[in-house]
A and B are shown apart, each in its own frame.
Chain A
Amino acid sequence: MTEVSATTQDRATPHMTVSKTNVAIEVIGMHKWYADFHVLRDINLKVMEGERIVIAGPSGSGKSTLIRCINRLEEHQEGQIIVNGTELTADIKRIDEVRREVGMVFQHFNLFPHLTILQNLTLAPIWVRGIPKAEAEATAMHYLERVKIPEQANKFPGQLSGGQQQRVAIARSLCMQPKIMLFDEPTSALDPEMVKEVLEVMISLAEDGMTMICVTHEMGFARQVANRVIFMDQGQIIEQNEPEAFFSNPQHERTKLFLSQILH
C-alpha cells in the first residue's frame, strides 16, 4: 500500500461534488453465471454522477467481473444494468453507445504495441468519434501533459516503464472524454515505486469530478478519494459505507477479517 503525499491529500477534497439527482449507473437485481458457477448474485448498485466508488474484496469475489459487466466486456444473465440512461442488452448499437462514454483502465494496461503513444491516444477519437486528426492529436497532447509524459508521444509502448504505460492507458481513455471511468486493479501489476505516480493521476481525475469506479487494494487511495467503499465476497455485495466508517467500524465478520489481513 502506498501513502499519497500530504500535499495531494490537502487539495483532494474541495471540488468533488456528487450529483443528487443524476444517476450515472444503475444495477438492479443482476446475476451472472459462468456455466454453472454463480459469479455475481443479486447485485444492486446505484452510482450518482461525480461519485467515486472503490470496490474491495478478496480475489475471486467478483469485483472485476462486476465492473466488466458495466461496459459489457462480460454479459449478465439476469437483472438490469443501465448506464447513462441506456440499458445494456445484446443490442450491439447500444453496447457501442455505452462503451463510447465509459472509459476503462486495465491491470495490464493493454496498450496497442504496434502504435506509438500518440496513435494509441488518437485511434478511438478518430475512428469512433470522427474527430479530425489534428484536433485529436491536440487533445491527446493535452492529456499526455496532464499525466506528465508529453515527451513520450512518439515512442512505442514497449519503450515505456509500467507506470508510464498505465498513465498512457488512462490518458487514452480520457481522450474519448468519457462520463465514467472504470479502473480494474490499475496498480496491481506495477512496481511499488510506480504505484504513486498512477494514483496521483487518478486523484487529480477525482478532483475534476469524474465518476469513477475503482477495483483496487490501495486502501490509502480509498480513504482519501472514495465517497463509498463497497466490500464484495463470493459474488455478493456484503457491505458498503463511507470510507471512514468502513475502515473504523466494519459491520460484517468477513469484512473485519479482510481488513485485518490487508491493513497491518
Chain B
Amino acid sequence: MTTLDTGPAAAPRPSFFNDPVIRGIVYQLVVAALLIAFIAWIVGNTATNLAAQNKTTGFDFLWKTAGFDISFSLLPWTRASIYWEAFLVGITNTLLVAFIGIVAATILGFTIGIARLSSNFIVSTLATIYVETIRNIPLLLQLFFWYFAVLKAMPAVRDSIVLPLDSFINQRGIFVPKPIPDPQFGFVWIGLALAIIGVIVLRTWAKKRLEATGKRFPVFLSSVAVLVIVPAIVWFISGASVAFDPPVLERFNFKGGLQLPPEFVALLFGLTIYTASFIAETVRGGIQAVSRGQTEAAMSLGLKEGDRLRLVIVPQAMRVIVPPLTSQYLNLTKNSSLGAAIGYPELVNVFSGTALNQTGRAIECIALTMLVYLTFSLLTSAIMNWYNARVSLVER
C-alpha cells in the first residue's frame, strides 16, 4: 500500500483550557492589563496629590538660580549658578570619585587576590584577613570610620601635621602644593603622546619581528624607557618648568595649594578598600578556575613562568574574572551615592538632596538622577560585554 507523505500529521488539539498556546496568550493579556491599570493608578494618584498641594511639574526649574554652596566642585560654581549646573557638578563629582575608585580598587584588588594565592604563609594570611574583614563590614560604617574616626579626628588647622614636600594634613583635609605648569609645558604633553604612539609602534614591531625571525625583544623595559626618556628630552629642550604653589598657613586657614577635602578622601578610601576586597575574591576565583593541567601542559612544553602566566593562565582567568568584575565596577559607582551621608557633594547629595529640597520637584530630580546612574551602568556593561565577547571561548 502506498501512503502520501504530507509531512507530520497535525497533532490532535488539546482541550481549550489545556492548550499551552492559549494559556500563554491568556496569561500575557492578564499581566499586561494589570500593569497598565497599576501605572494609570500611580499617574492619576500623583497628579491628584500634586494638584492638592498646588505643585507644578516640569523641568523649567533647571534654569533657575540655585543659590546654595557646593563645598567641592571641578566646574566653576557660585551661588548664582543654576540648577542645571548643580546637576553637572554632581555628575562630575560622582564620576571623579568613581573613576579614581575603579582604577585604585582594580590595582589593589588584583594585588590582594594574587597575594591570597601566594605560597608565602604570611602574605596569603594577611590577604585573607583583609578580605574577610573588609567585605563583612557595611560600607556605610566604613565611610563613617574613615570620615569621623580618621580624617575628622585629625588636629585643628593650627596644629596641622606636617608631611614632607610642603604637604599638611588636618581636619579640613589634605593640603598639597598645586602644580602650575608654564605654557612651555604643553610640549611635554605632546612628547608624552608621541611616546605612547611610539610604544604602540614598538610593540607591533616586536611582535612582527618575533613572528618573522623568532627573536624576542625586551618590550616591557624598552616601553618604560621610551615613556620616560622622550618626555624628559622634550622637557629639557623646551625648557618647560612647573612651578609649585605650596599651601601656606595664614590666620585661620591655609592659602594656596590644592585641598583634598576629607569628604572626598574618606569616600575614595572607603569605596576603594571595600570594593577591592570583592575584586580580590573575583581574581582569586578566576585564577583558580584555570585547571592545574593547563599550567602542567605549559610547563611540560618548556614555557617559562612569565610566559605561562601571560600566554596561558591570564587569558583564561580573565574570561572568568570579567563578568563579576563588571558588577563590582557598577557597585562602586552606585555605592558612591553613600557619599551623601558624609557630605561629599556627589549627584545624589547635590541634586536629589539639596536641589530637590529647595525646589520640591521630587519626581523630576529623582528621575534625572536615576537616569544618570542607569546611563553609567549600561555604558559600563556595554563596554565590558564587548570585551567579554572578545575573550570568550569557542565551545563547538
CB of A123 within 8 A of CB of B301, answer yes
B396 to chain A: closest residue by CB: A159
A199→B298 CA distance, assembly (Å): 23
A73→B308 CA distance, assembly (Å): 14
**Extra 16 A-B pairs, beta carbons < 8 Å, given A99-B299, A131-B214, A133-B211:** A73-B296, A99-B300, A102-B300, A106-B293, A110-B297, A111-B297, A112-B316, A128-B301, A130-B214, A132-B211, A132-B213, A132-B214, A133-B212, A133-B214, A156-B395, A172-B301
B interface: dominant SS: helix
Q: Does A39 contact B (CB under 8 A)?
A: no
Residues on the B chain within 8 Å of A135, using CB? 214
A115 CB to closest chain B CB (Å) equals 8
- Interface code A149-169, partner B: CB below 8 Å = 1, 0 otherwise? 000000110110000000001
Q: What band does the interface of chain A fall in when counting residues whose beta carbon is under 8 Å from B?
A: 35 or more
Q: What is A's interface to B at a CB cutoff of 8 Å?
A: 71, 73, 96, 99-100, 102-104, 106, 108, 110-114, 123-124, 126-136, 155-156, 158-159, 169, 172-173, 176, 182
Q: Does B303 contact A (CB under 8 A)?
A: yes
A159→B216 CA distance, assembly (Å): 32
A123→B212 CA distance, assembly (Å): 14
Residues on the A chain within 8 Å of B301, using CB? 99, 103, 123-124, 128, 172-173, 176
CB of A126 within 8 A of CB of B210, answer yes
A111→B316 CA distance, assembly (Å): 12
Residues on the B chain within 8 Å of A123, using CB? 301, 303, 311-312
A108 CB to closest chain B CB (Å) equals 6
Residues on the B chain within 8 Å of A176, using CB? 301-302
CB of B215 within 8 A of CB of A114, answer no
B214 to chain A: closest residue by CB: A130
Q: What is B's interface to A at a CB cutoff of 8 Å?
A: 210-216, 291, 293-294, 296-304, 307, 311-312, 315-316, 319, 391, 393-396
Residues on the B chain within 8 Å of A96, using CB? 302, 304
A100→B214 CA distance, assembly (Å): 16
- Pick the 4 closest A-B CB pairs, nearest first: A133-B211, A110-B297, A124-B301, A130-B214
CB of A156 within 8 A of CB of B394, answer yes
CB of A110 within 8 A of CB of B294, answer yes
A48→B391 CA distance, assembly (Å): 45
A173→B304 CA distance, assembly (Å): 16
Residues on the A chain within 8 Å of B316, using CB? 112-114
A123→B298 CA distance, assembly (Å): 9
CB of B293 within 8 A of CB of A110, answer yes
Residues on the B chain within 8 Å of A131, using CB? 214
A173→B300 CA distance, assembly (Å): 9
Residues on the A chain within 8 Å of B393, using CB? 113-114, 156, 158
Residues on the B chain within 8 Å of A159, using CB? 394-396
Residues on the A chain within 8 Å of B396, using CB? 158-159
A119 to chain B: closest residue by CB: B311
CB of A133 within 8 A of CB of B210, answer yes
B315 to chain A: closest residue by CB: A114
A125 CB to closest chain B CB (Å) equals 8
A111→B297 CA distance, assembly (Å): 8
CB of B212 within 8 A of CB of A71, answer no
CB of B296 within 8 A of CB of A110, answer yes
A172→B291 CA distance, assembly (Å): 19
B304 CB to closest chain A CB (Å) equals 6
A123 to chain B: closest residue by CB: B311
A173 CB to closest chain B CB (Å) equals 7
A114→B291 CA distance, assembly (Å): 13
Q: Would A130 and B215 be within 8 Å (CB), given that A111-B297, A123-B311 are in contact? A: yes
A104 to chain B: closest residue by CB: B300
Residues on the A chain within 8 Å of B213, using CB? 132
Which of B296, B303, B394, B395 makes the CB contact (< 8 A) with A106?
B296
B293 to chain A: closest residue by CB: A110
Q: Would A126 and B211 be within 8 Å (CB), given that A111-B297, A158-B394 are in contact? A: yes
